[in-house]
Structure 1
Amino acid sequence: MKRFVILLALALPACGLKPLYAGGASGPVASALGPVEIAAIEGRAGWLMANALRDRLGDGGSARYRLDVRLDDAITGLGIRRDDAVTRERRSVRARYQLVDLTDGSVVLDATAGSDAGIDVVQSEYATIAAENTALERLSLIVADEIVARLALYARANPRLEAAQ
């Protein structure tokens, strides 16, 4: 067993995987994502999304890029009883985002991200509203993580972004 672990440890560096955030805060991907300004996003969902993105990307000081995000937040009733009362809902948050180069206004990345959450509708209207709000908060974090991961992959694949800083 010990030999297998040693062989596995020796084989892992040869697999071709490269850490996305190699070098930490001073690494090429982190320095490319640092100068990204988050444009204002409409609504409560937009406020949550913008805060989640700022937490992950930073404050965008001396911004070279702007991230424009348009959200689609929807709640759909799924389970319906015989008396037409909804028993289950699905909250969907979809984001279309564009990374805009502020020097010439060109869009360097145009993509989408999204996630869904299921919500039980209970007799207490307060509990249902609380569950819908909690789902929105959680979905904002999930979609923000997806956007940042896509931006990081794009930054690693495009040395132009890394060299811009």
Structure 2
Amino acid sequence: MDKALAKLGVLVCIVGLSAMLAGCGFQPVYSTQGSGIGPVTIAAIEGRTGYYLRQELDRRAVLEQGTASPRVLSVKLTRIFTPAAQGTDGISTRNEMTVTATYVLAAAPPLPAVTGTITTNVAYESLDQAFGDVALQADAEERVANQIAERLWLDLQRQVRAAR
């Protein structure tokens, strides 16, 4: 009988602690709510950098909720590669990639279209081996896509909130 009372006491404590935890406003660290932009569909973006950028933007857009039909986000990228440093033999040892993203989030009445331009750059090493630059350039493109996605999404949030 004492064991049954002990089990009942433990069960009552667990239920009581669960009720207290549920009422304290506890929320999970990883939220499943978006930033208030609403449902967004990312249009295909040209090139390898565009592929990386679309992946990053999709990760952010998946959290956006709403009952309205999704607005389409279109992005156009322009890339410029410039040598940033040269070795004694005159061959570039470090390159810089500057990427400009021009975007348009389609209008959804009563909200107007949102437009903007983001420019960022990254530097990467240049190798002497044939095709050695391919992996380094791909890494640089992934890094620049992460930077653009973060800045673009913050700019979208700012503009959408200002339009409301």
* TM-score normalised by L of structure 1: 0.68
Instruction: Name the residue aligned to 2:82.
Output: 76
For residue 110 of structure 1, the aligned residue among 95, 112, 115 is: 115
Could you give the per-residue CA deviations for residues 1-39 of structure 1, whole angstroms, max 9, x where no partner exists? Answer: xxxxxxxxxxxxxxxxxxxxxxx655xx73x42311111
Please list every run of 5 or more consecutive structure 1 residues that lacks an aligned counterpart in the other structure: 1-23, 160-165
User: Secondary structure of 1:33's match?
Assistant: coil
Instruction: Name the residue aligned to 2:97.
Output: 91
* Greater Cα shift, 55-64 or 111-120: 55-64
Shift of 1:50: 0.9
Query: Does residue 157 of structure 1 match 2:137?
Result: no
Contact 1:38/1:60, CA 8 A, preserved across alignment: no
Alignment RMSD (CA, Å)? 2.6
Which whole-Å CA distance do the structure 2 matches of 1:108 and 1:34 have between them? 13
For 1:35, the aligned partner's letter is: P
Which whole-Å CA distance do the structure 1 matches of 2:84 and 2:78 have between them? 18
Give percent identity, aligned residues only.
Answer: 25
For 1:131, the aligned partner's letter is: L
User: Secondary structure of 2:106's match?
Assistant: strand
User: Secondary structure of 1:75's match?
Assistant: strand
Q: Which has the larger radius of gyration?
A: 2
Shift of 1:118: 1.1
Instruction: Name the residue aligned to 1:47.
Output: 51
Contact 2:114/2:160, CA 8 A, preserved across alignment: no
Query: Does residue 58 of structure 1 match 2:62?
Result: yes
Contact 1:41/1:69, CA 8 A, preserved across alignment: yes
For 1:112, the aligned partner's letter is: T
Which whole-Å CA distance do the structure 1 matches of 2:133 and 2:71 have between them? 39
Contact 2:42/2:57, CA 8 A, preserved across alignment: yes
Query: Does residue 144 of structure 1 match 2:141?
Result: no
Query: Does residue 101 of structure 1 match 2:97?
Result: no
Which whole-Å CA distance do the structure 2 matches of 1:78 and 1:139 have between them? 16
Which whole-Å CA distance do the structure 1 matches of 2:39 and 2:127 have between them? 45
Query: Does residue 121 of structure 1 match 2:126?
Result: yes
Question: Would the alpha carbon gap of residues 150 and 36 (structure 1) be closer, same or farther in structure 2, given more than 3 Å must change?
Answer: same
Please list every run of 5 or more consecutive structure 2 residues that lacks an aligned counterpart in the other structure: 1-30
Which whole-Å CA distance do the structure 2 matches of 1:113 and 1:150 have between them? 9
Shift of 1:139: 0.7
